[in-house]
């Protein structure tokens, strides 16, 4: 259970598979915002993907749990996997509200590439009132360009070092932090070609993928 009076970090995603870029972004947010707890939530059915995850929800949760093993203040959560239908950030955040966690105490962590499409998310722009959004720079997606790309949100954007300043509403915090240049798509492609993924995913995740022959269907069906 979440503790209503404490800050809570949330990292959601398809995690097909979870990789080192995901973890690095969340660790940077944890440290910058002094988060005592970070939940890693694999989505059940990602609404923005035309193709559904190749790995089952069971394996994606298992990989998330393995990825956070030994990572201080991180834990994997099945919260989105228990629901029905697509997994929407707005619904996830509202469940935390129902548990007594105030929007001002929630820090939803996302990459600059995903946040650039925020105007396509369910219940936009209301979803921005459900939590603080921590937008982490990703290779090829500079956070400095977000204000011009999303001019209607520019007045809510702040640099991460200003998170202690009082504010009347949840804010959008821009976090400049180095993260590995890796994507789940690239990991799957390397596996399809029979190439190593060492260093792209946490070691325990790599072992799980090989142990259960995940993503090998790409090779078996000739989809390279």
pLDDT (0 to 100) of residue 3 = 64
**Banded model confidence at residue 2, pLDDT cuts 50, 70, 90:** low
pLDDT at 35 over 70: yes
The residue segments making up the domain with residue 192 are 8-220
Q: What is the CA radius of gyration of the chain?
A: 17
Report the pLDDT value the prediction gives residue 52, as an integer from 0 to 100: 83
CATH number at residue 216: 3.40.50.620
140: nearest Cα among 109, 108, 107, 186: 186
Between the ranges 43-47, 84-88, 157-161, where is the mean pLDDT highest? 157-161
pLDDT of 217 over the 90 cut: no
What is the C-alpha to C-alpha distance for residues 186 and 182, in angstroms, rounded to an integer?
Answer: 7
Residue with tokens 């979803």: 127
In a domain, residue 1? The reply is no
pLDDT of residue 220: 43
Q: Per the domain annotation, does 2 fall within a domain?
A: no
Biggest distance spanned by C-alpha atoms of the chain: 55
What pLDDT sits at residue 222?
A: 41
Domain membership of residue 132 (yes or no) is yes
pLDDT in tens, 89-145: 999 999 999 999 999 999 999 999 999 999 999 999 999 999 999 999 999 888 999
Nearest Cα residue to 13 out of 101, 122, 89: 89
Beta carbons of 10 and 109 less than 8 angstroms apart: yes
**What's the pTM?**
0.93
In a domain, 91, yes or no: yes
Question: pLDDT by residue (tens digit) across 182-213?
Answer: 999 999 999 999 999 999 999 999 999 999 99
- Count of domains in the chain? 1
Judge contact between 141 and 117, C-beta under 8 A: no
When pLDDT is averaged across residues 134-163 and rounded to a whole number, the result is 94
Report in angstroms the alpha-carbon separations of 149 from 91, 144, 157: 26, 10, 12
In this predicted structure, what is the pLDDT of residue 47? 81
Please say if the pLDDT value at position 28 is more than 70: yes
- Which 3 state secondary structure label does DSSP give 147? helix
Q: Is residue 3, in this structure, part of any structural domain at all?
A: no
82 domain-assigned:
yes
Q: Is residue 167 in some structural domain? A: yes
Confidence band of 46 (pLDDT split at 50, 70, 90):
confident
CB burial of residue 219 (10 Å; 0-12, 13-18, 19+): middle
């Amino acid at each position: 259970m979440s503790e209503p009076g404490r800050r809570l970090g949330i990292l959601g995603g398809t995690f097909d598979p979870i990789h080192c870029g995901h973890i690095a972004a969340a660790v940077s947010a944890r440290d910058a915002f002094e988060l005592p707890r970070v939940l890693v939530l694999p989505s059940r059915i990602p609404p923005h993907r035309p193709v559904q995850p190749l790995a089952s929800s069971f394996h994606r949760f298992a990989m998330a749990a393995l990825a956070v093993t030994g990572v201080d203040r991180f834990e994997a959560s099945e919260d989105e996997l228990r629901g029905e239908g697509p997994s929407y950030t707005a619904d996830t955040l509202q469940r935390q509200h129902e548990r007594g966690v105030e929007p001002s105490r929630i820090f939803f962590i996302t990459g600059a590439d995903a946040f650039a499409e925020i105007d396509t998310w369910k219940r936009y722009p209301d979803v921005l009132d459900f939590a603080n959004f921590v937008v982490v720079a990703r290779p090829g997606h500079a956070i400095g360009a977000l204000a011009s790309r999303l001019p209607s949100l520019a007045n809510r954007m702040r640099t991460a070092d200003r998170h202690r300043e009082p504010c009347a509403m949840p804010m959008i915090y821009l976090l400049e932090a180095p993260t590995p240049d890796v994507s789940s798509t690239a990991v799957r492609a390397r596996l399809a070609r029979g190439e190593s993924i060492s260093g792209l995913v946490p070691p325990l995740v790599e072992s799980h993928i090989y142990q259960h022959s995940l993503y090998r269907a790409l090779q078996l069906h000739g989809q390279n």
